[in-house]
Amino acid sequence: MTTIVILFMLYFHMSNRQFLMAFSFSWQEKIEASTDVLKAILKPVIDEVEEISWPLRDPEALSLMEKEINQREQEGQLDEGFLAEVNAQLRQATKDGDKPGLEAMLQKVLQLYASRVLSKRSYAKKGNEVLKAEQFLETIIKAPEEVWNKLLLDGMTLGKGDISPEELYTVIKKRMERTLIRTEGGSYQQRVLIEYLKGIESRAGEIVRVLQG
């Protein structure tokens, strides 16, 4: 039974005030749960004084954070409420401007989430044929943002590879279209996944402009 159905059933058995109080309490619980999940994910990168230094002192911290994200995503805890909480915290950190470590880590959380979700579906094979451009894109999607430059240089024809920029742009746009179809319009999930793909597209464009002079 969906949450909406349950709420309607409650409405017909409660006064307006009782219903609003129950709804408010339920929503507050959800926000607190999302905050707890985010705290657990960020725990490996938070130091003794509960600050996030940037760049990170411990290179293993990111791996631990990624492991936590993968586990939480598998358990279904990284829902719209969680993504809304991350975005709210990120907006506040950006507005404050005095916590670059927190801002960087929140962006990293969204990147790792997008990488995890987008990597669940592969379009690199059509029958027995390997679609090299799709395979190349999926390699970038799975990779940390810090190594995108190297992957793009090694994979595109302007560098050492055999995938043309046009081929890469085409499969990125296809993946965006598929993502728009498979996600709820206007949802945080859709926004995060599309932004991640746009980030890859933008980085590829930067590399192309540099190589073409």
Sequence ranges of the domains in the chain: 1-118, 122-213
What is the reported pLDDT for 11?
47
Instruction: Give the span between the Cα atoms of 45 and 112, in whole angstroms.
Output: 14
| pLDDT of 182 over the 60 cut | yes
Going by C-alpha positions, the residue among 128, 113, 126, 133 that lies closest to residue 175 is 133
What is the reported pLDDT for 58?
84
DSSP letter (8 states) at residue 163: B
Q: With cut-offs at 50, 70 and 90, classify the pLDDT of residue 99.
A: confident
- For the chain, the first-to-last Cα distance in angstroms comes to 58
| pLDDT of 154 over the 90 cut | yes
| pLDDT of 205 over the 50 cut | yes
Lowest mean pLDDT among 7-16, 86-95, 106-115, 169-178: 7-16
Q: With cut-offs at 50, 70 and 90, classify the pLDDT of residue 19.
A: very low
The mean pLDDT value of the chain amounts to 88
Range list of β-strands (E), the chain: 125-126, 129-130
What is the reported pLDDT for 17?
56
Are the CB atoms for 170 and 132 separated by under 8 Å?
no
Instruction: Give the span between the Cα atoms of 139 and 146, in whole angstroms.
Output: 13
